[in-house]
Amino acid sequence: MEVILNSSHKAMAERSVLCWLATADESGQPNVSPKEVFAVADDKHIVVANIASPGSAKNIHINSKVCLSFIDVFAQKGFKVFGVASDVTPEAAEYFRWVEPLRMMAGDRFPIHSVFVVRATAVEPIIAPSYRLYPSETTEASQVQAALRTYGVREVGGNV
Ligand SMILES: Cc1cc2nc3c(=O)[nH]c(=O)nc-3n(C[C@H](O)[C@H](O)[C@H](O)COP(=O)(O)O)c2cc1C
């Protein structure tokens, strides 16, 4: 069976504070919103907690095609996942399996209404233009330093 999401996608997803879920309605009107409670469940599936996402849920019921993007904002690299989503509710037999990696993240304060299970059909890398435009001077370390300066963030134990 084909592996779509490998260990490097999993690691990059873990470094992404948020993912962005894009859906579309029956007219093709796109909708995008951030999600913080998500996990790469296996080599083909990403699960996203539906805590406060009625618009995404509605669209997924109408049109199951979705796109998710993940970015490590410091390394300025990530990936996008094209896929087909289903909205799995607690009544479904498979619910427990999918919600499992999300429970700890959401905790008791953020009830999960359902789980958007995205079956990945294709993955594409996302990289900041500097990596391609200025390859001789752009490394992951230089991008991290530039991002720390841009966002005014200090590395723990660093001197930026
Ligand atoms: C930082 C951040 C993290 C969020 N994480 C989640 C999440 O994990 N799950 C969720 O359902 N909503 C989450 N939300 C809230 C939704 O993005 C928000 O309610 C949005 O309006 C939902 O849009 P939709 O109904 O079109 O999907 C988050 C919002 C922010 C700002």
Instruction: Say if ligand 1 is within 6 A of residue 114 CB.
Output: no
68-100 pLDDT, tens digit each: 999 999 999 999 999 999 999 999 999 999 999
Domains defined for the chain, CATH in brackets: 7-128 (2.30.110.10)
- The confidence band for 154, taking pLDDT boundaries of 50, 70 and 90, is confident
101-145 pLDDT, tens digit each: 999 999 999 999 999 999 999 999 999 999 999 999 999 999 999
d(CA 10, CA 41): 9
Q: What pLDDT score does 1 carry?
A: 67
For ligand 1, the distance from its centroid to the CA atom of residue 38, given in whole angstroms, is 11
Q: What pLDDT score does 155 carry?
A: 76
Instruction: Say if ligand 1 is within 6 A of residue 51 CB.
Output: yes
Q: What pLDDT score does 45 carry?
A: 98
H-run or E-run covering 23: strand 19-24
For ligand 1, the distance from its centroid to the CA atom of residue 34, given in whole angstroms, is 5
Secondary structure E strands in 25-110: 30-35, 38-40, 45-50, 65-72, 77-88
Instruction: Say if ligand 1 is within 6 A of residue 32 CB.
Output: no
12-50 pLDDT, tens digit each: 999 999 999 999 999 999 999 999 999 999 999 999 999
